[in-house]
Amino acid sequence: MLLPSTTEIQFLSHQILQEKKVELGILRLDKIHNQVSGNKFFKLKYNLKEAKRLGKKTILTFGGAYSNHIYATAAAAKLAGLNSIGIIRGDGFDENNPTLSYGRNQGMNLHFVDREKYRAKTSKQFLEELKGIFGDFYLIPEGGTNHFAIQGTKEILTSSTHESTHICTSVGTGGTFVGLATSIRSGQELLGFSSLKGEFIRDEIQALLKEFEINPQGKIELITQYHFGGYAKWKPELIEFLHWFHSEFGIAIDPVYTGKMAYGIWELFKKDYFPPNSKILMIHTGGLQGNLGFVQRTGIAIPLG
């Protein structure tokens, strides 16, 4: 079904790391699978298993027109021999953009709804309506965060990450962050860089920790100031940083999630956030499929990876 490639920690070398006497490694989850890349691999793994266990034939999920989750779900469902339905938010975008074309090619049945309708995506009435249209399905929520996603993202940290003092990830719904929070060790600090504007994410994380009864062994911290205006928003400094990072290390990152995290980490270096001898691990959660759509939508060139 979903078989991972081996991932490795790639250690980066840069003058600022020497200066601050810290080590920086990047966990290349972007390389874990050709199609189901990054954290989405872990979020989908046990959901697919559960769908199969329940004897479901079809996965239904929600997402935006450029969503990594939609892209990964379409591919993962196909690999698992399941049908997939993607309920796509909003209008005014190109229905043949690279993400949606890919999904369609993987056999995903795309269904477009306006924003108002989309907002009701968790309501019983809307779900009943969808059952009326599509028949029985296994539901994966927007962003893919649920019990089985947490079970999967728990597996991101392994014995190879025990040495790290700081573990950094980008945060959308927070599912990956709380999965990591489940498996950090005492003495480790988990840093989540929110890609959305606002402090609400703190409450969301608290609610997820409570819901899944997670008591982190180490310290957890949310960083909320590197959102660049909000979800999928960007500023020229961020674009410049994506180019700089790629030319410096030969690694592509994305403007929605990993770019904001990496930018934030570099800012924290400047602020001496990390004490000397810190061993920092930055998780590359993937998401590079969206870069092509970004270029087409904005006309701004960024490294594609």
Contact between 257 and ligand PLP by CB under 6 A: the answer reads yes
Cβ pair 241, 266 in contact under 8 A = yes
Q: Which two tokens stand for residue 52?
A: 């199969």
Element (H, E) at 280: strand 279-284
Touching ligand PLP, residues 38-67 (CB under 6 A): 38-40
Touching ligand PLP, residues 269-298 (CB under 6 A): 285-287
Shortest distance, CB of residue 38 to ligand PLP, whole angstroms?
5
Contact between 103 and ligand PLP by CB under 6 A: the answer reads no
170 belongs to the catalytic site:
no
User: 300: phi > 0 → left, psi -120 to 50 → alpha, else beta; which?
Assistant: beta
DSSP letter at 233 equals -
Shortest distance, CB of residue 256 to ligand PLP, whole angstroms?
7
Shortest distance, CB of residue 125 to ligand PLP, whole angstroms?
25
Rounded Cα distance between 293 and 102, Å, is 11
Shortest distance, CB of residue 14 to ligand PLP, whole angstroms?
22
Contact between 183 and ligand PLP by CB under 6 A: the answer reads no
Rounded Cα distance between 38 and 92, Å, is 28
Q: Which residue in the shown chain puts its C-beta closest to ligand PLP?
A: 287
One of 170, 182, 183, 291 touching ligand PLP (CB under 6 A): 170
> Residue 58: what residue type?
T
Nearer to ligand PLP, 20 or 103 (CB): 103
Residues in the interface with ligand PLP (CB under 6 A) total 20
Shortest distance, CB of residue 292 to ligand PLP, whole angstroms?
14
Contact between 73 and ligand PLP by CB under 6 A: the answer reads no
Catalytic residue chosen out of the listed positions 5, 13, 67, 278: 67
- Here's the x/- map for ligand PLP, 111-150, by CB under 6 A: it reads as --------------------------------x-x-----
Rounded Cα distance between 139 and 35, Å, is 21
Contact between 99 and ligand PLP by CB under 6 A: the answer reads no
For residue 262, which phi and psi values (nearest 5 degrees)?
-65, -40
Contact between 181 and ligand PLP by CB under 6 A: the answer reads no
Cβ pair 72, 152 in contact under 8 A = no
**Stretch touching ligand PLP by CB under 6 A, among 32-40, 196-204, 209-217, 264-272:** 32-40
| DSSP per position, 149-217 | HHHHHTTS--GGGTT-SEEEEEESSSHHHHHHHHHPPTT-EEEEEESSSSSHHHHHHHHHHHHTT---S
**Stretch touching ligand PLP by CB under 6 A, among 56-64, 175-183, 198-206, 216-224:** 175-183
Cβ pair 32, 289 in contact under 8 A = no
Contact between 194 and ligand PLP by CB under 6 A: the answer reads no
Rounded to the nearest 10°, the torsion over CA 143, 172, 288, 5 is -70
Q: Which residues are designated catalytic?
A: 67
Residue ranges in contact with ligand PLP by CB under 6 A: 38-40, 68-69, 143, 145, 170-177, 257-258, 285-287
